[in-house]
Amino acid sequence: MGGLSMDQAFVQAPEHRPKASVAEADGIPVIDLSPLLAAGDGDADGVDALAAEVGRASRDWGFFVVVRHGVPAEAVARAAEAQRTFFALPPERRAAVARSEAAPMGYYASEHTKNVRDWKEVFDLVPRQTPPPPTTAVADGDLVFDNKWPDDLPGFREAMEEYGEAVEELAFKLLELIARSLGLRPDRLHGFFKDDQTTFIRLNHYPPCPSPDLALGVGRHKDAGALTVLYQDDVGGLDVRRRSDGEWVRVRPVPHSFIINVGDIIQVWSNDRYESAEHRVAVNVEKERFSIPFFFNPAGHTMVEPLEEVVSDESPARYNPYNWGEFFSTRKNSNFKKLDVENVQITHFRKN
């Protein structure tokens, strides 16, 4: 990362530092999505069983692994290769596509999570820009979601657009399963994502770290959006806080899979029937690591609140409505700077 040294900004508070060894997670749900892909053949029972499986995983873990998911292996391989090529560019070439507070797409190497700097560098892009990129209105202006493509990197844009299209298709299928699992009609949640999505793709690069006992690639956090569809390479480093005992456990890479995180928006829509998983990324001394999260987010104008179908006299709404665009832009901007307070969370909208 351009001569990055072990600065104090990277050092986690003692209670948040990773242990020397983290147990591998047992029992993480691995879900075969092929029944959904074959649903055109009339396998309604298979889809219902799949939805129930997704529901259990979302309730018990807040995330799960999917295999036989329909995303072409070639598209994943091309995106992963393009990612490695980009981060191998000289620092000045990467800096030429740096992001800014007003235009948050592009390259960035000093992100903060929970007010501690992450040991990583990233490149953010939106998966589709036709029609024109959406803007998210905020109090002091608009966030402009406009991609900064690196010049003279053949095939980079095409690989990322192909990947984004394929993973978005998977994200909508997962959204259908989440809806079914909550007893809703299959397309109940689709409308939130039809216009002006704030979905974005992040390319993560975690270089070898001289003090992996002090720093984290990404500090502990929960994803603010609806769903995260994560590709990770075979190095490993993703830790999830286990619901049953609060311990951190390592998620072993499964070949040809994606890890699906339930985000805060799903937690609110489901009125806490599902809970987003707290997770972090550990780094190591020897190996660099790459991952590609696809953050599936609704339109900026969306008001997020528990769905009317899951609210009742026995189970009243646990959250006040909040505007996703304002929430998202506040989270985005805070990544640029160390704050005196914790960033905005859905707990701030929880009813007493």
DSSP state of 190: G
Q: For the domain that residue 186 is a member of, what is the CATH number?
A: 2.60.120.330
Give the Cα separation of 4 and 211 in Å (integer): 12
pLDDT of the residue at 143: 62
Quick one: how many helices (H) and strands (E) in the chain? 7, 18
Rg of the chain over all Cα atoms, to the nearest angstrom? 19
Alpha helices by DSSP H, listed for the chain, are 34-37, 44-60, 73-87, 91-95, 156-181, 264-269, 324-334
* Domain carrying residue 111: 10-130+140-347
Residue 352, in any domain of the structure: no
Q: What is the pLDDT of residues 99-124, one digit of tens each?
A: 887 788 999 987 777 778 888 999 99
> Is the pLDDT assigned to residue 91 strictly greater than 60?
yes
Entry pTM: 0.91
Among the residue ranges 35-44, 232-241, 341-350, the one predicted with the least confidence is 35-44
CA distances from 79 to 145, 158, 291 (A): 20, 9, 10
Q: What share of the chain is helix, strand, coil (3-state, %, to 5)?
A: 30, 20, 50
> Is the pLDDT assigned to residue 337 strictly greater than 50?
no
The partner residues of 261 in beta bridges, in order of sequence, read 63, 228
Residues 6+ positions from 159 with CB-CB distance below 8 Å: 75, 78, 79, 81, 82
Residue 165, in any domain of the structure: yes
Give the Cα separation of 258 and 238 in Å (integer): 12
DSSP states along 116-135? EE-S-EEEEE-S--SSPPPE
Give the Cα separation of 92 and 87 in Å (integer): 11
Mean pLDDT of the chain: 86
Residue 83, in any domain of the structure: yes
Residue for token digits 């990197």?
A: 153
Q: Which two tokens stand for residue 147?
A: 């991609």
| Burial 204-214, CB ≥16 within 10 A → b, else e | bbbbebeebeb
Give the Cα separation of 344 and 339 in Å (integer): 11
Collapsed DSSP state (helix, strand, coil) of residue 319: strand
Residue 2, in any domain of the structure: no
pLDDT of the residue at 293: 96
What are φ and ψ of residue 233, in 5° steps? -75, -170
Residues 6+ positions from 325 with CB-CB distance below 8 Å: 136, 137, 138, 198, 299, 300, 301, 302
Residue 24, in any domain of the structure: yes
Residue 5, in any domain of the structure: no
Residue 1, in any domain of the structure: no
Residue for token digits 């499964």?
A: 254
Q: What is the pLDDT of residues 210-259, one digit of tens each?
A: 888 888 888 889 999 999 999 999 998 999 988 888 888 889 899 999 99
pLDDT of the residue at 322: 92
Residue 3, in any domain of the structure: no
Domain tally for the chain? 1
Q: Which two tokens stand for residue 176?
A: 């259908």
Q: How confident is the model at residue 6 (pLDDT cuts 50, 70, 90)?
A: low
Q: What is the pLDDT of residues 120-170, one digit of tens each?
A: 999 999 987 644 445 555 444 466 778 999 988 999 999 999 999 999 999
Q: Which two tokens stand for residue 62?
A: 């807040």
pLDDT of the residue at 341: 42
pLDDT of the residue at 339: 42
> Is the pLDDT assigned to residue 41 strictly greater than 60?
no
Instruction: Return the top range by mean pLDDT from 108-112, 194-198, 323-327.
Output: 323-327
